[in-house]
Amino acid sequence: MRLTYLMGLWMALSLFCSSQSMAAVKAYRASILHFVADPARYGDQAWQYFQDGALVVEDGKVKEVGNHSDLWQKFREAEWIDHSGRLIVPGFVDTHVHYPQTEMIAAYGEQLLEWLNTYTFPTERKYKDYDYARRQSRFFIDQLLRNGTTTALVFGTVHPESVDALFDEASRFNMRLIGGKVMMDRNAPDYLVDTPETSYTESKALIQKWHGRNRLLYAITPRFAPTSTPEQLTAAGKLKSEFPSTYVHTHVSENPNEVAWVKSLFPERSGYFDVYEHYGLAGDRSIFAHGVHLTDAEFDRMAATRSSIAFCPTSNLFLGSGLFKLFPAMEKGIRVGMGTDVGAGTSFSMLQTMNEAYKVVQLQGQKLSSLQSFYLATLGGAQSLGLDDKIGSFKTGNEADFVVINWGATALSKLRTRNSKTLQDKLFVLLTLGDDRHIFETYVDGKRVYRAK
Ligand SMILES: [Zn+2]
């Protein structure tokens, strides 16, 4: 009698426990696309597509991806969510964006240097106020999520408060976000400069506070060579050597006048990129935005130092900066990610960024395939940040950041998609006609953080 009672209790308990553990497993049925390598190099070996697929997630991590028919059997007890007819891809990675410039996107008429003085610097002044910066951070992160972007490498302003606000806001979703305080001690208004000493101590305090906290990471962020003295670049290099796992995030060779200016400011260096290399700021965790006017020899140095480039097509076109040589850079072995570069960039949408990337490459007489575009916006971005062991694909154990996409969210994309015969064509239509209206849901750390209304 007593034994039967105990056995009954044990069985009830074990049933309860197993139902508890299975309840934590969620499985999403949809068409699923992800990359395991660069399709330009590895062809069809580089990507996996499951027309009727399933993505299984447990405790914020990818458990398995595959055909629905196989995984349905294996994870019968999981909570199944049906997105049949939609597409799931890994969350987009934006490798270069300025959150304080969100409010000044679409500013008319100038090229880089005038644009900075006329629009950017007066706007960035406001971010000394933590509460203001926090409100703007909330708006910014909402824009990322509604566009399916789950990781970004982000410029703050010169004020440490701007970084605290951004990281506090990203913490609400446990996002994998990289950011940093701008270092800038010359050629900018008095109200927006620091010094070599304060930029060092403030950046160091932010690194100690935020770098590696949950999923957050810190980037040492000199704005660009013209706004830092040699003393400040030395301080930035010192920070990098003291905290080697941090990132370096800056701009290089965006605009011809800027390149000429750097030459006059650093006549002893062989070129723009050499300035950064000289101060110890090149390396496998260094991301340089633009690189439009880098020479072939500079591409070689970038490849040799394992540095990455953020390709920002909407910005390069908007500011009239020039056409980035995507294929030559990648053929050198340089890792390239896509960046929106808002507010010189004109959209938070990585779909629209891919759209403009295609045109930049077309203007140089080459073709950027839809598969390679989606690779660059996901795994390529993760690789350029050295984070491909954590994000950018649905490898088992990766962090479960992903996007559910509606192929035909507008009348036009619906009409055109209906005529698509191949996956490649469907993806091309999506990136050409798509925008935030096509993002149905966004998941960060296994949790839904956005759903279209
Ligand atoms: Zn930028």
Whole-prediction pTM value?
0.94
**What is the model's pLDDT at position 325?**
98
Q: How far, in Å, is the centroid of ligand 1 from the Cα of 418?
A: 38
Confidence grade of residue 440 (pLDDT, cut at 50, 70, 90) = very high
Q: How far, in Å, is the centroid of ligand 1 from the Cα of 91?
A: 21
Interatomic CA distance for residues 247 and 358, integer angstroms = 28
Six-digit token string for 12: 């009830």
Residue 8 has pLDDT above 80, yes or no: no
Query: Count of CB atoms within 10 A of residue 327's CB?
Result: 16
Query: Count of CB atoms within 10 A of residue 248's CB?
Result: 24
**What is the model's pLDDT at position 21?**
52
Q: How far, in Å, is the centroid of ligand 1 from the Cα of 136?
A: 18
Helices H / strands E in the chain, number of each = 19, 16
Q: What is the average pLDDT across 236-244? A: 98
**What is the model's pLDDT at position 17?**
47
Six-digit token string for 50: 């499951």
Instruction: Return the SS3 of 24.
Output: coil
Q: How far, in Å, is the centroid of ligand 1 from the Cα of 126?
A: 18
Q: What is the chain's alpha carbon radius of gyration, rounded to the nearest angstrom?
A: 23
Q: How far, in Å, is the centroid of ligand 1 from the Cα of 8?
A: 65
Q: Which helix (H) or strand (E) holds 106?
A: none
**Protein residues near ligand 1, an ion, with CB under 5 A:** 289, 341
**What is the model's pLDDT at position 20?**
46
Closest CA to 78 of 11, 31, 19: 19
Q: What is the average pLDDT across 268-285? A: 98
**Which residue type sits at 296?**
D
Instruction: Return the SS3 of 297.
Output: helix
Q: Which helix (H) or strand (E) holds 311?
A: strand 308-311
Q: What is the average pLDDT across 260-266? A: 98
| Strand ranges inside 36-145, DSSP E | 47-58, 61-67, 79-90, 92-98
How does DSSP classify residue 213? S
Cis preceding-peptide flag for 85 (omega within 30 of 0): no
Six-digit token string for 447: 């949790």
Q: How far, in Å, is the centroid of ligand 1 from the Cα of 45?
A: 34
pLDDT above 90: percentage of residues in the chain: 93
Q: How far, in Å, is the centroid of ligand 1 from the Cα of 198?
A: 23
Q: How far, in Å, is the centroid of ligand 1 from the Cα of 395?
A: 31
Strands 25-35, 79-90: pairing kind: parallel
Q: How far, in Å, is the centroid of ligand 1 from the Cα of 46?
A: 30
Instruction: Return the SS3 of 441.
Output: strand
Question: In whole numbers, what is the pLDDT of the chain averaged over residues?
Answer: 95
Q: Which residues pair with 149 in a beta bridge?
A: 92
Query: Count of CB atoms within 10 A of residue 453's CB?
Result: 2
Query: Count of CB atoms within 10 A of residue 10's CB?
Result: 10
Q: What is the average pLDDT across 353-374? A: 98
- Give the distance, in angstroms, between the CA of residue 337 and the centroid of all CA atoms in the same chain: 8
- Cβ atoms of 319 and 80 within 8 Å: the answer is no
Six-digit token string for 102: 């969100």
Give the pLDDT confidence of 92-125 residue by residue, as tens digits: 999 999 999 999 999 988 988 899 999 999 999 9
Give the pLDDT confidence of 291-339 residue by residue, as tens digits: 999 999 999 999 999 999 999 999 999 999 999 999 999 999 999 999 9
Phi then psi for 389, rounded to 5 degrees? Answer: -85, 0
- Cβ atoms of 442 and 90 within 8 Å: the answer is no
Instruction: Return the SS3 of 157.
Output: coil
Interatomic CA distance for residues 413 and 426, integer angstroms = 10
Q: How far, in Å, is the centroid of ligand 1 from the Cα of 63?
A: 36
Which residues make Cβ contacts (< 8 Å) with residue 313, sequence separation at least 6?
324, 338, 353, 356, 357, 359, 360
Q: How far, in Å, is the centroid of ligand 1 from the Cα of 44?
A: 34
**What is the model's pLDDT at position 1?**
46
Q: How far, in Å, is the centroid of ligand 1 from the Cα of 226?
A: 14
- Cβ atoms of 49 and 32 within 8 Å: the answer is yes
Q: How far, in Å, is the centroid of ligand 1 from the Cα of 251?
A: 6
Q: How far, in Å, is the centroid of ligand 1 from the Cα of 289?
A: 6
Q: How far, in Å, is the centroid of ligand 1 from the Cα of 98?
A: 6
Q: How far, in Å, is the centroid of ligand 1 from the Cα of 185?
A: 18
Instruction: Return the SS3 of 20.
Output: helix
- Cβ atoms of 27 and 79 within 8 Å: the answer is yes
Residue 4 has pLDDT above 70, yes or no: no
Strands 402-405, 247-252: pairing kind: unpaired
Q: How far, in Å, is the centroid of ligand 1 from the Cα of 369?
A: 25
Interatomic CA distance for residues 163 and 220, integer angstroms = 12
Give the pLDDT confidence of 131-173 residue by residue, as tens digits: 999 999 999 999 999 999 999 999 999 999 999 999 999 999 9
Closest CA to 249 of 327, 308, 175, 293: 308
DSSP 249-270: EEEES-SHHHHHHHHHH-TTSS
Confidence grade of residue 23 (pLDDT, cut at 50, 70, 90) = low
